[in-house]
Amino acid sequence: MRNTLLCCCLLLVALPSSAAEYHYHFGREAKAVYQDVMRLELDLAEAGVRHLKKTEPRNLAAYHLESYIDFFRLYLSGDEGLDAALAQRFDQRVAKLEQGDSNSPYYHYALAEVRLHRSLIELRFERHLAAFRQLNRAYKHLRDNVDRFPDFLLTYKDLGLLHAAVGSIPPQYKWGVELLSSLSGTVNQGRRELKRALTDTASPFHLETQVLYAFMELHLADRPELAYKAVKPLGLRPAENNLHCFILATLAMRTDRNAEAIALLEKQQRGGTVADFPYLDFLLGQAKLRNLNPQARIHFKSFLLRYPGRHFREEALQKIAWSYLLQGDEVTYHRTMREIEGGSRDGGDENAIREAAHDRAPNLHLLRARLLFDGGYFTRARAELDAVNTNTLTAEEKLEHRYRTGRVLDGLGDAAGALSFYERTIDLGRDHPAYYACNAALQAGLLEEKRGNEAVAARYFRTCLSINPAEYRIGLHMMAKAGLDRVGGSLKKR
């Protein structure tokens, strides 16, 4: 018996693949690799992961970090060819993590994170069925962690995001979620859970959690100013870190700080060993165009040269065409628009494709008003709208003029005037393929929500959900559903 026990003990020591020997330890070396990832030094981080696997072969933190690396490589590049090469690595990563200690809270947490990373890539490449499958599996891991380790705060970082995201899914897409997953939740529930995760100030993922919370406030709670103020004190270094540059520039552009966004994006890191981030040039082009600077096209062209993905390309061509139109060059505008071919269902790309199908260039005053409004230059935008001779406009342009007047009055703080024009836009454009009526209803709801009129806001959000434009529909409906969730409105009321 004694010899048998001794042999068993020796055998256990000799088996490096034993599940009991795998563990998750986010130590000094793992933290250093994570910091490399968050600086987008992805090649350096990859080398760090290889070294971690060699020096700590049973530490599963290496596979968690590897998931971050693959996520950023794919999301920054939009390269579906690269995705095919990395898909096998995802399967191997999951298999390795499943050998971990299921009695550790990091077991389910790490598996949930790698599945969340994968689901976001599937969504980017419009593989929605695969995305829902991964989201559902991630959700089950997180729910198991809550049941078994309710005080493990990292769980609530991801669970909060999932609950908030599910709460914003429009009703016409809810059937897919219910059919393919066990996901449920609300925006308010997600916000509470992410706030709970923020109390774990000692976590190496604390800064990531703070930024995720701010972006949830921005995109799902419609509190852009709060999001901006939450991130400003975090000590981000946009001149040294392109991910920080993206975060701050995005928040600046969403809070009418266009000049600040341009200054930030002009300082982005170029070249060197950091991963290429071509979308920063797309944002810089967008910010400059919003100040009617035709040289914005330089940055859109840079984006097109460096970005191998299929998303944002049609929108970039549209913006280049607009830059020529701003200079009065309608010939080059049409020539550029003819390069738009389709291939993406992203909202901005859909809008570009629809415009390319027309033979008529946009009304210059309306275009300038649109750009200036988006940049937060409300007084200048109002002057452009006042200069329009409405008798010369087509029916669609008259609808756009009403919509943009409402938006500008909203920006200038004239709530009564804005609501009047929003109502007219909804009445006249409800059945039009353009997005004006749908967004007018959304914006009216947001305005009334800010004024504390929750019942009226809910009515406008339901109106938005009842309108189905040919462009931006999914994004607008998600924001309306999130708004309805916030004000406690019922989807059944009309």
What are the tens digits of pLDDT across the range 374-407?
A: 999 999 999 999 999 999 999 999 999 999 999 9
The predicted pLDDT at position 362 comes to 95
Q: List the structure tokens of 447.
A: 């305005």
Domain membership of residue 302 (yes or no) is no
What distance, in Å, lies between the first and last C-alpha atoms of the chain? 77
CATH code for position 424: 1.25.40.10
Is residue 266 packed enough to be buried (19+ CB in 10 Å), middle (13-18) or exposed (0-12)?
middle
Domain membership of residue 347 (yes or no) is no
pLDDT over 90 (residue 52): yes
Which among 364, 432, 365 has a CA at the least distance from the CA of 396?
432
How many domains does one find in the chain?
Answer: 2
Domain membership of residue 141 (yes or no) is yes
The predicted pLDDT at position 132 comes to 85
Domain membership of residue 235 (yes or no) is no
In angstroms, the CA 124 to CA 130 distance is 11
pLDDT over 50 (residue 230): yes
Last residue of a domain, one of 123, 152, 181: 152
The predicted pLDDT at position 490 comes to 54
CATH code for position 92: 1.25.40
Cβ atoms of residues 165 and 157 within 8 Å: no
In angstroms, the CA 365 to CA 326 distance is 10
Provide the whole-model pTM.
0.90
* Percentage of residues in the chain having pLDDT higher than 90: 79
Mean pLDDT of 9-33: 68
Domain membership of residue 394 (yes or no) is yes
Domain membership of residue 256 (yes or no) is no
Last residue of a domain, one of 121, 152, 183: 152
Token pair 């938005």 is found at: 464
Show the domain range for 384.
362-494
What are the tens digits of pLDDT across the range 152-203?
A: 999 999 999 998 887 777 665 555 565 555 677 888 899 999 999 999 999 9
Cβ atoms of residues 149 and 113 within 8 Å: no
Domain membership of residue 414 (yes or no) is yes
Mean pLDDT of the chain: 91
In angstroms, the CA 117 to CA 131 distance is 10
